[in-house]
Structure formats: C-alpha cells, structure tokens
Amino acid sequence: MTYLWIETSEQLAQHLGKLPAAAPLYLDTEFMRERTFWPQLALVQLNVDGRIYLIDAPALKGDALLTELLTQHPLVMHGCSEDLEAIRVFTGVLPCEIRDTQVAAALCGASLQLSYQRLVADTFEVELPKDATRTDWLRRPLSIRQLDYARDDVVWLPQLAEGLTERLSDLRRLAWWQEECQAMLDAVPSATPLPDAWKQVKGAGGITGVPLAHLEAVAAWRDREARSRDLPRSFLLKDPVLLALCQSAPTSLAQLEPLGVHPSVVRRDGHTLLALLRDSAANTPPPALPGPPEPEERARVKRLRAAAEEMAQKLDLETDVLVRRRWLESLARNPDQLPSRLTGWRREWVGEALQKVAAE
C-alpha cells in the first residue's frame, strides 16, 4: 500500500482539511525521548478511508489543523499511553477521545501487553517487520525502511478496531472499553509537582531523617533543571548518585566526583548542589514512604490475588487485565476504601467481592 508524505500546511489542508468533525482517525505516532526530558513528536501516521498519510510533525509544529486532528477527533490507536504524552506535549492538550485496540483485545481475553504486530499476525496471518522501532525518527530524510514501517503501523488498524468492536459488543463490554480508555486519558502523566519529585527516585523508600530532607530538595532541583534544559534526569544525576549525595552530604567540590557526579555537572552545578545539601539540613523532612507490608497485609494480598484469579477465569480475562497487583495492595492496606480503579464496571464484577475478602 502506498502512502503520502505531508510536510507543509498546504498539503495538510488539501488532503485532510475537510474531514467530518466526528470522524475517528486511525493513528499512530513515532517520537523520540532518549536525550530529552519531554517526548519529541517526530511523525504522525494516519489511515483515512484506506489512504495512508505520513505527517512530518516537526515541520508542522504549531499548525492549527494538525492540532485539531490530534485533539478534536476520536483517535483509534494501539498501546497509546506514551503516544498520548507526546501528543499532549506537542499540542498542549489531550485528545478528546481515544479507542485503544490493545485495551480492546485485553478485554476480549488477550494479554494486556499484546503488541500490534502480534495482534496483526494472530488476526490476519501477516508478519510485520519490527526492525525500525529504535531508529532515529527525527532525522530527515527518513529511510524507505522507516517509512514502510510507519505505514504498516496503521494499515491494519481500521480492520482490527472493527473486529474488536464487534467482539466487545457480543460480550457486552463496549462500556468497559470506553471506561478503560477514558482512564488512560485521565492517567496521562503530567509533570510531577517539584516537592514530590523525590518520591519518583528509585530507593527513596529506605531514606528517613535529614537525608530525606536532602533528597526532597535535590530531587526537586534535578526535576526543575531537567525540564528547563530538556534533558533526562539521569543526564544530571542518576538515582544511585542522587541517593549517595543525600546520604553522605558532601561539603566540598572534591567530594562530588567520587560519589559519581559527572565532572561536567560538578563544574556547572557543584556549588548549587553543595548549597542545597547545606541549606536543606535544617528542613523538616517529609513523611517517609510506606515501608514493606506487614505479614498480615501480605497474607491479605495473597488471599485477594487468589480470589481475583478465580474471578478473572470466570470472565475469561487475564488476571492483570481485571485487577492490578497495586490495587490489591492498596485494598489490603485499607479494606474500608475501595481503590478508584475497582469502581466503575469493576465494582459489580470484582470490586465489592474483593472488598469482602479483604475484610475477612
């Protein structure tokens, strides 16, 4: 199947400027994030009535029609949680509606992580190449291999969505799909508030007292600088280095590099880091993260997991599609409070039953 490359506003308006407002768009994206804090949208692939359009997103940054296409039409995508974040960063807003075929397949009994390539192979007995996934999508011109790979990501999407919609309708689970997709939109990560940045540091659960006050201050600085410089957090301070700084609290530049701080960071930010560590020593540390569960709580999670597996089997669903472990852990900690993701359609099918198990 051929495709049309679009890199100007005039081309975009000519080919996609008159779509009905409510028309769903069968869409995928390619983006890059290896060396930046924010995802960089590189390519938008559209299947509209069997015609494939490959849109050069960087060339059309700020184009009103492209923003409208990405945000004011229902988007049919596969495994789109990261794509949604890239769209939000590119346009400033989220799509009005999504229909994720990976979620639809999971609600029909498949694995929650079922790839588009595997779903196409299972449904149509067509093997799609996977060798362009990790290429540089911001480089221009894109290679023929990249363009063909991008095209293939939306060729089969309308037929997959149609078939899955029919299956969900037969199972009376279309409302489940709609609710799950809205939950995906609601969960698109926004920037973590700076005072809470320390909670995202791997290993933070073992820190208390003054080192935790250090961690709160330095993690907030790292996030603020990563955003403003558009760099991955690890380019400034890797998590183990951040923890080592906060636990040892060095007082001189000479002590930073042996702890793992990169020489360039020592030169540019060393004095700032030392000042943060010195000043935060007088701060009241935030409440520590919850420790490991008590034996009684672990036993409760085990009972809940066994009950969830039985319920999932009756519904012909993978257990992790029906209930995530972290929801069970939350319910085990507080049996009187049903986690938000166990409400909605799950309340009737598993939520209330699991709450009874937790209270035993």
| Residue 293: per-residue pLDDT | 80
| Residue 260: per-residue pLDDT | 97
| Residue 342: per-residue pLDDT | 96
pLDDT at 11 over 80: yes
Measured between alpha carbons, how far is 265 from 70 in angstroms, rounded to an integer? 38
> Residue 315 is part of which domain span?
295-359
Place of tokens 């198990």: 357
Helix, strand and coil percent figures for the chain, each rounded to 5:
55, 10, 35
Q: Answer whether 178's CB lies under 8 Å from 104's CB.
A: no
- Residue 289 counted as domain residue: no
Q: List residues bridging with 98 in a β-sheet.
A: 75
Q: Among residues of the chain, what percentage have pLDDT more than 70?
A: 100
| H-only helix segments in 27-125 | 64-71, 81-91, 101-107, 116-124
- Residue 348 counted as domain residue: yes
pLDDT at 49 over 90: yes
| Residue 350: per-residue pLDDT | 96
Q: Among residues of the chain, what percentage have pLDDT more than 90?
A: 92
- Residue 286 counted as domain residue: no
Residue ending a domain, choose from 186, 207, 238: 186
| Residue 251: per-residue pLDDT | 97
| 21 and 89 belong to one structural domain | yes
pLDDT at 189 over 80: no
pLDDT at 131 over 80: no
pLDDT digits (tens, 9 = 90+) for 53-64: 999 999 999 999
Place of tokens 């380019």: 235
Residue ending a domain, choose from 186, 220, 235: 186
| Residue 125: per-residue pLDDT | 95
| Residue 210: per-residue pLDDT | 98
pLDDT at 141 over 80: yes
- Residue 288 counted as domain residue: no
Please provide the distance, in angstroms rounded to a whole number, between the alpha carbons at the two ends of the chain.
59
pLDDT digits (tens, 9 = 90+) for 246-267: 999 999 999 999 999 999 999 9
- Residue 81 counted as domain residue: yes
Report the SS3 class of residue 74.
strand
pLDDT digits (tens, 9 = 90+) for 154-165: 999 999 999 999
| Residue 132: per-residue pLDDT | 73
Q: Are strands 40-48 and 97-100 parallel, antiparallel or unpaired?
A: unpaired
Least Cα distance to 207 among 182, 167, 244 occurs for 244
| Residue 197: per-residue pLDDT | 96
| Residue 192: per-residue pLDDT | 77
| 213 and 161 belong to one structural domain | no
pLDDT at 1 over 80: no
> What CATH number is attached to the domain comprising 342?
1.10.150.80
| 146 and 213 belong to one structural domain | no
Distance set, CA 326 to CA 6, 142, 285, 305 (Å): 43, 41, 26, 11
Q: Confidence band (pLDDT; 50, 70, 90) for 86?
A: very high
> What CATH number is attached to the domain comprising 61?
3.30.420.10
| 217 and 339 belong to one structural domain | no
| 73 and 215 belong to one structural domain | no
Distance set, CA 191 to CA 68, 97, 226 (Å): 23, 21, 11
Residue ending a domain, choose from 122, 154, 186: 186
| 99 and 209 belong to one structural domain | no
pLDDT at 41 over 90: yes
pLDDT digits (tens, 9 = 90+) for 192-231: 789 999 999 999 998 999 999 999 999 999 999 999 999 9
| 275 and 155 belong to one structural domain | no
Tokens of 111: 């694995």
Q: List residues bridging with 73 in a β-sheet.
A: none
Report the SS3 class of residue 46.
strand
| Residue 309: per-residue pLDDT | 98
| 168 and 55 belong to one structural domain | yes
Measured between alpha carbons, how far is 222 from 232 in angstroms, rounded to an integer? 10
pLDDT at 190 over 80: no
Q: What is the DSSP string of 186-232?
A: HT---PPPGGGGGGGSTTGGG--HHHHHHHHHHHHHHHHHHHHHT--
- Residue 137 counted as domain residue: yes
